[in-house]
A = this chain, B = another copy of it.
Amino acid sequence: MGRRLTPRGEQRRGELLAYATERFATNGYHPTSVAELVDGLGVGKGVFYWYFESKEDLFLEILRSGERDLRRVQLDAMGDETDPVARMELAIRASMEWWATHRELYVLIEFARTEASFASGVRKGERVALEDTRRLVQEAMDSGAIADGNATVVAQAVLGVSSVLARTQVLGRGRPPSEVADEVIDFCWHGLLGRDAGQTRRTA
């Protein structure tokens, strides 16, 4: 929607975005009707269609702005650090903090991946995140800082650990993001066997 908005308009639009995000996240996208959104805000239905072309358009807007914001936060966090391993660590910590303050987005992205009309958009965003990470992993492998291997797979594993622990520990149990970030980093860096243990190995 290429509409010009006055400050008052911006505010309304923001209200709609915020309320819709919350409703979609707790009630689901499809079960939440446009009528429910405008009723919840105590406004007429026309308000919705003044600011958004459609329900789908609104949802895509929520997704896009969320992804954009997370990426910005990650890049900011990495700043001018040059060591790839340190950059990954900074990005992981920043992401964990971000998820803690944007809990609704997690479930929305997860949902978006499950429906044809949204999946391609999400995948595009994820390809960007993966490529960012893959580059760092490759760089670290080349310099011998980490073990050689398939950089894409390793990058995906790191992202997987981050997102699972963000979901279950930070969002699910409300644990402090920094603490969980420590655990993500410890697991990703050293694996199960850890720095020290790992003598009594298995048979299989």
Contact = CB atoms under 8 A, between A and B. Distances in A.
Contacts of A3: none
A202 B145 contact: yes
Interface in A42-58: none
A102 B204 CA distance: 26
A204 B31 CA distance: 46
Contacts of A108: 114
Contacts of A137: 192
Nearest to A186: B149
A164 B169 contact: no
Say how many copies of this protein the assembly contains.
2
Given A169-B153, A191-B190, A86 B203 contact: yes
Contacts of A183: 149-150, 153, 157
A85 interface: yes
Contacts of A154: 187, 192
A180 to B, nearest CB: 8
Contacts of A150: 183
Residue of A116, A159, A160, A163 contacting most chain B CB atoms (<10 Å): A160
B114 A28 contact: yes
Contacts of A27: 115-116
20 contacts: A83-B204, A85-B192, A85-B202, A86-B204, A110-B113, A111-B115, A140-B192, A144-B200, A145-B197, A145-B200, A147-B192, A147-B193, A153-B183, A157-B164, A157-B183, A157-B187, A160-B160, A189-B191, A189-B193, A190-B190
